[in-house]
Amino acid sequence: VTGSVSTSSVQPAHRIPGEAGTWVFLFGDMLVFGAFFVTFLVERAKAPETFDVARTTLHIGVGVLNTLVLLTSSLLVVLALGALRAGTRAIATRAVAAAMACGLVFVALKVFEYVSLGAAGHGPGANAFYLYYFILTGLHLFHVCLGLAALTFVLTQTRRVDLSPTRTALVESGMCFWHLVDLLWIFLFALLYLVS
Amino acid sequence: MTVLHLLRNRAGFSWLLLVAATILSWALGADHGTGSMVAVVVLAIATIKVRLVGLDFMELRHAPIPLRAAFECYCLGMWALLSGLYIWL
């Protein structure tokens, strides 16, 4: 599936990133979230004005900032993989640590949003929009935490002198999961903050 | 090998595009009414962003054809489905 990062930086023309089986899980997750997005829009159609008014009570600046934070963390993960392939482990370690810091910033901003929405009387029980907002972003936040755990594993691997093909595939799989977290948030940001 | 050298590639360029697209969708979508076609454009921008993340961050651009095709179908399918639900429901 993949070559050891320390032996060659040349990648074959067509290769599966990470473990092949990981993609079954990643696509499954993408489809499950897709079903949630559909459900959200079906509920929105029942009360579009309510959803539109509720949307404007969200902190869109925080939503934009969270998007930029996740995009940057994804770029840092790409940087880390490039550094691993080039054999510059110190850069890889620092890039993964910075990506994890971005993830923690995302969590902190989300907690700030939850607390401020709750304080303004916009908790999950306020109406259908807020219920879906808390369920969808809560599920995504759970994925962020899983992603941080995956990046913790990747961080430990960047300190190894040599990575076997199996470990390299696991590292790439962990990185792909972090990109999935980014990918799902892009749809969530558009649906919750801009479209609804 | 420097950080700048590692970022001077397609992924680095895609990140710039993704940031610009985020700002653009914010400017377009922050203040539109219900039933507006702006939502369809915002969903299209989101889909393009998702595609860039998949192709350049997840490295699906160089994946075997079936894997890449599945991802392209997911992107196109999600945009068509979400836009259709927004317009017709």
Q: Is the pLDDT of residue A4 over 70?
A: no
CA distance linking residue A77 with residue B57, whole number of Å:
8
Q: Is the pLDDT of residue A107 over 80?
A: yes
| Ranges of residues in chain B whose predicted pLDDT is under 70 | 1, 32-35
Which residue of B31, B38, B53 to mutate against A (max A Cβ within 10 Å)? Answer: B53
Task: Please write the tens of the pLDDT for every residue from A115-168.
Answer: 999 999 999 998 999 999 999 999 999 999 999 999 999 999 999 888 899 999
Note whether B6 contacts A41, CB cutoff 8 Å: no
Taking CA–CA distances from B58, the nearest residue in chain A reads: A176
Taking CA–CA distances from B4, the nearest residue in chain A reads: A79
Q: What is the ipTM of this complex?
A: 0.93
Please give the single-letter amino acid code of residue B12.
G
CA distance linking residue B36 with residue B29, whole number of Å:
10
A91 CB neighbours in chain B (<8 A) are: 1, 3, 6
pLDDT of B6: 75
CA distance linking residue A155 with residue A175, whole number of Å:
11
Note whether A72 contacts B62, CB cutoff 8 Å: no
Nearest Cα neighbor of B64 from A17, A78, A176, A174 is A17
A67 CB neighbours in chain B (<8 A) are: 22
Q: For a pLDDT cut of 90, what percent of chain B falls above it? A: 71
* Surface-to-core class of residue A29, CB atoms within 10 Å of its CB (0-12 exposed, 13-18 middle, 19+ buried): middle
pLDDT of A161: 81
Note whether A86 contacts B1, CB cutoff 8 Å: yes
Task: State mean pLDDT over A100-106.
Answer: 98
CA distance linking residue A150 with residue A173, whole number of Å:
9
pLDDT of A2: 47
Nearest Cα neighbor of A189 from A51, A67, A42, A75 is A67
